[in-house]
Amino acid sequence: MLGALAVATGFVLLSQWQFSRSQDAPPPPPSTTERTVPLTEHFEPAVDMMASKADQIVSAEGSFLPGKQVLVRGRINDGATGYWVVAPFAVSGAPDANTIPVVRGWQPTDAVPRPAPAGKLELTGRLLPTEAPIDETTGASSYPSLSVAQLINVWDVPSYSGFVVANEVTGTNGESAGARSTGLDPVQVGPQPQEQPLNWLNIFYGIEWVVFAGFAVFLWYRLVADDHRRQLEDAADEAALAAGFAPAGPFPETDQPSETTKENQ
């Protein structure tokens, strides 16, 4: 009994753990993410981006690397599908001269965009996690996803494991060097919704552990019931033998005449 209860208790605890894992942590509130913080203080290179770091408005100083812009297709802007223009931004003060991909703006076609602004710049934008790479045939003029792992190989530079969608870009003289200054449409990315997402796979696993716990208790019940039934049957057999089937003594030999027979003779 104790073993079955211990197993069932373990299964219940595992189900509770799975249920606790089924609810992902909600994103940081807008009161936190919409406050601009320096990129170099908020996030480090060569580190996977957690939910607590994503969606933050960050600022950075540095310059775009010339001749390395790429297009990312399938991006919707005001209901139209087009291309993001992405360029590597060398972040001043970043360790090991790391860069970060910056979405400079949007354009409707895959035409070669105008070069990124040169010189020392300051930008602010929303920090987002890298997208998953999508394999495709080589020779395409654009990429299907903004995968930092792919862009590192294309640009041959170290990079943060995330990208920034630029809101504002200004030069040292305070003049705007944003999307519109180079013929692009600005890209607007709002804060994430505050709903707490559910992981249905963890919920399914939690239900499974509850079923396993119930099966362990049921198996213990069947073992105890079978043992009790065997004990009752053994007791009934012993009572039956004692009542009528147990021999009262040795039977007389059949080939010897009885006393009654002798008297009759």
Q: What is the pTM of this model?
A: 0.66
Calpha distance 16→209 (Å, rounded): 9
pLDDT above 60 for 254 = no
> What are the phi and psi torsion angles at 159 (to 5°)?
-150, 155
Determine which of 58-72, 156-170, 178-192 has the lowest per-residue pLDDT on average.
178-192
Confidence at residue 110, expressed as pLDDT on a 0 to 100 scale: 94
pLDDT above 50 for 236 = yes
Calpha distance 261→265 (Å, rounded): 6
Confidence at residue 10, expressed as pLDDT on a 0 to 100 scale: 65
Q: Provide the residue type at 33 as one letter.
A: T
pLDDT above 70 for 252 = no
User: Residue range 9-27: average pLDDT?
Assistant: 57
User: Residue range 250-259: average pLDDT?
Assistant: 52
Counting every residue, how long is the chain? Answer: 265
Confidence at residue 8, expressed as pLDDT on a 0 to 100 scale: 57
pLDDT in tens, 131-169: 999 876 555 679 999 999 999 999 999 999 999 999 999
pLDDT above 60 for 232 = yes
Confidence at residue 248, expressed as pLDDT on a 0 to 100 scale: 46
pLDDT above 90 for 67 = yes
> What are the phi and psi torsion angles at 78 (to 5°)?
55, 40
Residue-averaged pLDDT of the chain = 82
pLDDT in tens, 77-125: 999 999 999 999 999 999 999 999 999 999 999 999 999 999 999 999 9
Q: Provide the residue type at 129 as one letter.
A: P
User: Most confidently modeled of 4-8, 89-93, 187-191?
Assistant: 89-93
Calpha distance 105→91 (Å, rounded): 19
User: Most confidently modeled of 89-93, 219-223, 240-244?
Assistant: 89-93
pLDDT above 60 for 235 = yes
Confidence at residue 241, expressed as pLDDT on a 0 to 100 scale: 80
User: Residue range 7-11: average pLDDT?
Assistant: 60
User: Residue range 8-32: average pLDDT?
Assistant: 61
